[in-house]
Amino acid sequence: MRGFRFAAVGAALGLTCAATPARAVDWEVTGDVIGQGYEIVSPWGDVVLGRRRLISTLGLAAYNLQGGDYQPFKANYSVQLRMRVDADFGVKSGEASYDPADASRFAPGVTYAPVDLMYAYVQGRNLANGVLDFKLGRQYTQNVFGWWSFDGGLVHVTTPFFLALEAYGGLEQRGGLPLSTSRFESQGVWRGAHPGALKDDAFRYPSFQPASVAPAFGLAVESTGPNWIHGRFDFRRVYNLGETFTGQFPFPSTAGPGSGGFEKVSGLRISSDRLGYAASAFLADVGTLRGGFVYDLYYGRVSRAYGALDFHAGKRATIGLDGEYFWPVFDADSIFNWFTHNPSASALARVAAKPSDRLQLSLQAGTKLWLTEGDPGSWATAQCTAGGYATPAQLDACLRYGVDSTFWASSPNKVYDFARSEDNRKSKISPDLLANVGVNYAWLSGGADLRGMVQTGFGSDASGNNRGRRSGATISAKQAIVPGVFWLGGRVSTYEWHDPTRPERDATSFGYVIAPEVQPVQFGKLRVEWEHEMNRLVGQRFRILGLISIRVAP
């Protein structure tokens, strides 16, 4: 692990230095050091995590390696790198290191001070008269699939025929691998390093899969040319490699040797396989239309689709409609794909206005729709009735204490048959009301923002169709006390929430933050935040954060 780190840093620095010949280049060094101290109180009121975190990032960049200043449409080379360490001095003994003799607090995957390489790449742009771009190294991509990171190469070719082609390939960044985080993996699989004793004792955590490299590649076709319309088609496939447990309970008679009784599969298999398209078109005097979708080839379903239509109502206001359809999908190694039955959908109307250059307003209001196969409010009674609980007393017992085990043994099992009948699984929609309001006001030496929201379900808590409520608002402001040198920021908020499944956890919260910020030198800034929150569940809670950031770019 350490070797990898040194190698990566050395390679990056070497690349930077090697690419810096006698001619001048533009370089930049950035860095942050963030110290935080706060406590996390368990849902039952006691302090369970005393977090004392120190996060530090270091960024290096060298631009215009070709020499001279940046010139639009001219060939351009750069090297960029950023590393990070996220140390938590509040990790208790035994949480991060596995000891078979004392694993009571062990949480697989937790480490004291993980170091990760956020990105490190060489980039070339506008090569071959603007036809070719490339990136080589650890890099991010952003498209209709969302954020993603991989180690490899990307080539982007812009043709004269209103199309650009993009191809990339490499290894997906995965948690548990050197200098990597799990942030960019598909959801649903708990992966990480199995070092030391855990490697030999992994069967204690059969859901915790050993990390291994994940080959990936993608293709994209993108429109170029007309600015008023843009579309991009994307395809990406990621493979899983290495061994993974299947059965979650040990059966030594069927499992191979050395597996603790757990069965495994191994080899190349799909992790994710998706295609998507996103497009946007506008008429400056009229409005904008955009939309897109993602189709999951592994599962064979549209996992996300969205659309938005905005009209410019006069010179300072925009009205629009936004809609989204979302069906969660997971890594193809994950069983969670089998548990998703329905999508959720949202539809929002929006108004955004800019009455003056200093004031901006926005309002979104609409609904979020949740679907279930069957009506939660009447299902239990119907299921008990179908199961033969005929009398009121029997029905009451069924609802209070569940189906008696003797019914499960009956044949045909009417309780089960009821549940699997399509007639009883007609979709039931539970709507939430959703609204957001935002106001920005700026003045010469500062500004203030208001953000408020409400999302609430309908119906009684007992119906099973009310998904709870959350509402509140935050006002934040920042004022330059000594312009360019000293600022004072603050934030006040109040929120309340209600969860029908946990009514004892309802609360109203009030919190404030005071945040002075000073920039004593042009290349450095210091900010301190004092945060104080209070609600009936956790009482008083405090957080202090200090941030030093530097940026040197001669």
Please, which of residues 228-287 interact with other proteins by CB under 8 A?
A: 228, 230-232, 240, 244, 246-249, 251, 254, 263, 265, 269-271, 273, 278-280, 282-285, 287
The reply to whether 315 sits near other proteins by the rule CB under 8 A is: yes
β-bridge mates for residue 85, sequence order: 56, 115
Phi, psi torsion values for 411, nearest 5 degrees: -140, 125
Supply the minimum distance, in Å, between the C-beta of residue 92 and other proteins: 8
User: Interface with other proteins includes 387 (CB under 8 A)?
Assistant: yes
Residues in contact with other proteins, counted by CB under 8 A, come to a total of 213
- Alpha-carbon span 104 to 74, nearest angstrom: 60
CB 30 within 8 A of CB 550: yes
Residue 422 DSSP class: G
Give the nearer residue to other proteins in terms of CB position, either 3 or 175: 175
Give the integer Cα–Cα distance in Å for 549 and 149: 25
Question: Residue 412: is the preceding peptide bond cis (ω within 30°)?
Answer: yes
Q: Which of residues 504-543 bind other proteins (CB under 8 A)?
A: 505, 507, 509-513, 531, 533, 535, 537-538, 541
Minimum Å distance from CB 211 to other proteins?
Answer: 11
State the number of CA atoms in the 13 A half-sphere of 11 facing the CB: 16
Q: Provide the minimum distance between the beta carbon of 485 and other proteins in the complex, in angstroms, as a whole number.
A: 16
Q: Does 75 bind other proteins (CB under 8 A)?
A: no
Does residue 208 contact residue 109 with C-beta atoms inside 8 Å?
yes
Contacts of 206 (CB under 8 A, 6+ apart): 245, 247, 248, 249, 250, 262
Q: Contacting other proteins (CB under 8 A), which of 2, 22, 44, 101? A: 44
Contact 63, 102 (CB under 8 A): no
> Minimum CB separation from other proteins for residue 286, in Å?
9
Rule CB under 8 A: is residue 465 a binding residue for other proteins? yes
For the bound state, the minimum distance from the C-beta of residue 476 to other proteins, rounded and expressed in Å, comes to 7
Q: Does 140 participate in binding other proteins (rule CB under 8 A)?
A: yes
Question: Considering only residues 330-369, where is the footprint of other proteins by CB under 8 A?
Answer: 330, 332-342, 344, 350, 352, 354, 357, 360-364, 368
Q: Is residue 310 a contact residue for other proteins (CB under 8 A)?
A: yes
Question: How far, in Å, are 37, 213, 239, 261 from residue 245 at the CA level?
Answer: 38, 16, 16, 10
Select from 6-14, 479-487, 495-503, 518-526 the region that touches other proteins (CB under 8 A): 495-503
Instruction: Select 3 or 151, whichever has its Cβ closest to other proteins.
Output: 151
Closer by beta carbon to other proteins, 170 or else 374: 374
Residue 302 within binding range of other proteins, rule CB under 8 A: no
Told to check if 141 binds other proteins by CB under 8 A, we report: yes
What are residue 532's DSSP bridge partners? Answer: 512, 542
Q: Is 445 in the site for other proteins (CB under 8 A)?
A: no
Q: CB under 8 A: which stretch of 5-13, 434-442, 478-486, 516-524 binds other proteins?
A: 434-442
Binding residue for other proteins, selected from 104, 406, 411, 540, defined by CB under 8 A: 104
State the first-to-last Cα distance of the chain, in angstroms, to the nearest integer: 34
Taking CB under 8 A as the binding criterion, the range among 10-18, 124-132, 479-487, 516-524 that sits at the site for other proteins is: 124-132
Indicate whether 95 belongs to the interface with other proteins (CB under 8 A): yes
Evaluate whether 262 touches 245 at the Cβ level (below 8 Å).
yes
Regarding 180 and contact with other proteins (CB under 8 A), the answer is: no
Q: Which of 5, 19, 86, 414 binds other proteins (CB under 8 A)?
A: 86
DSSP 531-551: EEEEETTTEEEEEEEEEEEEE
Burial of 213-235, coded b for 16+ CB within 10 Å and e otherwise, reads: ebbbebebebeeeeeeebbbbbb
Q: What are phi and psi of 347, to 5 degrees?
A: -140, 125
Task: State the nearest-atom distance from the C-beta of 471 to other proteins, in Å.
Answer: 10
What is the Rg, in whole angstroms, of the alpha carbon atoms belonging to the chain?
Answer: 28
Closest CA to 327 of 345, 303, 306, 307: 303
CB of residue 280 to other proteins, shortest distance in Å:
4
User: What is the DSSP-derived secondary structure letter of residue 203?
Assistant: G
Question: Counting every residue, how long is the chain?
Answer: 554
Nearer to other proteins, 197 or 419 (CB): 419
Contact between 420 and other proteins per CB under 8 A: yes
Rounded Cα distance between 368 and 146, Å, is 21
Is the Cβ of residue 3 or residue 455 nearer to other proteins in the bound state? 455
Residue 501 within binding range of other proteins, rule CB under 8 A: yes
> In angstroms, rounded to a whole number, what is the distance separating the alpha carbons of residues 387 and 19?
75
Does residue 548 touch other proteins according to CB under 8 A? Answer: no
Q: Please select the residue that binds other proteins; options are 89, 112, 147, 542, rule is CB under 8 A.
A: 147
